[in-house]
Structure 1
């Protein structure tokens, strides 16, 4: 069975900026989805900010194995209800790929719990991505480095939690470096942040970038299915304790009462 992937795009620059429209006439999300669909193990569809519920209904997310996220101009327009919905699915085991300026998205900051801030410069400079973890599944089929002739610079410090793994480090023509491929786990869900993807450059048409995205989706996929109970907080009564016990002392909650959240 193929990995059901939803490619989420903010879809503002592509509809308002002629330069971006010229590079991605059908949107960055469409370009990414088409790249993912070249792999028979992946079945990718798209969703955008402008759709009802941003295209991320509870029913659709329930069927989604991996979600990719690109946003930039209007992170604040994303509904908090949808953010919590996505976070819950990640905790349950849905994979998440956060791309480029998605570092400031509500969902990434929600799951990281940190500002996710960084340095940046828009100068079309060369980016060399070094594969520093060549045995990692996300790096499969890649050389020790690859280059993008024009990209936006991101620089350290990147205020995210210490990652589980660092797969790529980028060097930029101006001298800065950046941890550009990082992984985490939140609950049962795998998260991969991948840095390249500035909208005014053809980054998502690049074969190496597309390979990373395909590998990233496969890595983030959790074949075990959703761990629906991860957000449960059941009140276990005395009579159901694993060993016999006698209740002692005062208590705040009545038998069977749900706890506070």
Structure 2
């Protein structure tokens, strides 16, 4: 069983009537409802909760954390970012969505500015599957289309991804690496681009399928657990110690 926590600022929903109309239960509610699968335990957390809803207890019981942020990146406390980073390095999966590319935690884990081009014009986005054998692409055709979305364009200032799964094309002509994976420590990270707050992207069945697949992938156990620090020899040493 996977234990999933969906985190969202929950700022736009309270300040923007259009966003509230599209997501009456909040973006976190739509995501939680849309990705829930048999055997998964899915809960939500928001910025305004104590410790942003990400206490030690919550994170220690989370296999995969899904992150959506936009307006309030700077309001996330650094000690919470430290806590999330530590859990990722220990093996917790992280799925970062849309404008979460500018979140403190994603920038911390990538070590880059994560900057890009953008334009909000409600244009068509066609997301091409460029790695069809990857489990995050399971159940998809060769592409999916979103009728209206915010444009993100290259150059996207991230490290070279471990795997590139999706590339977006936009009606205005730009392209974007919209589905990327990374490994940090024992943790798996999946960045997925779509999800502007004033479009019903998180009601799109294929978008939810991809996010659910990303959660499934990120929640798989990592490899061997490393050992650090001073270490006793496995074999008997014969002299030569100085």
Change (3 A) 1:235 1:155: same
- Please give the alpha-carbon distance, in whole angstroms, between the structure 2 residues aligned to 1:113 and 1:46: 27
Corresponding residue for 2:229?
234
Corresponding residue for 1:100?
98
Structure 1 residue 59: deviation in Å?
Answer: 1.1
- Please give the alpha-carbon distance, in whole angstroms, between the structure 2 residues aligned to 1:18 and 1:157: 32
SS in structure 1 opposite 2:48?
Answer: coil
- Write the mapping of 1:39-54 to structure 2, written as runs, cut at 5 A: 39-54=37-52
Corresponding residue for 2:130?
132
- Write the mapping of 1:112-261 to structure 2, written as runs, cut at 5 A: 112-223=110-221, 227=225, 233-236=228-231, 240=233, 242-244=235-237, 245-248=239-242
Corresponding residue for 1:4?
3
Of structures 1 and 2, the larger Rg is shown by: 1
Q: Alignment partner for residue 59 of structure 2, among 50, 61, 64?
A: 61
- Please give the alpha-carbon distance, in whole angstroms, between the structure 1 residues aligned to 2:165 and 2:40: 22
- Please give the alpha-carbon distance, in whole angstroms, between the structure 2 residues aligned to 1:114 and 1:84: 17
Structure 1 residue 93: deviation in Å?
Answer: 0.7
Change (3 A) 1:98 1:25: same
Calculate the aligned-residue CA RMSD, in Å: 1.6
- Please give the alpha-carbon distance, in whole angstroms, between the structure 2 residues aligned to 1:50 and 1:178: 32
- Please give the alpha-carbon distance, in whole angstroms, between the structure 1 residues aligned to 2:70 and 2:149: 15
- Please give the alpha-carbon distance, in whole angstroms, between the structure 1 residues aligned to 2:180 and 2:73: 21
Q: Hey, which bits of structure 1, 4+ residues long, moved more than 2 A?
A: 222-227, 232-237, 240-243, 245-248
Paired residues, number: 241
Question: What do the CA deviations read for 1:46-81 (whole angstroms, capped 9, x no partner)?
Answer: 000110011111111111000000000010110110
SS in structure 2 opposite 1:46?
Answer: strand
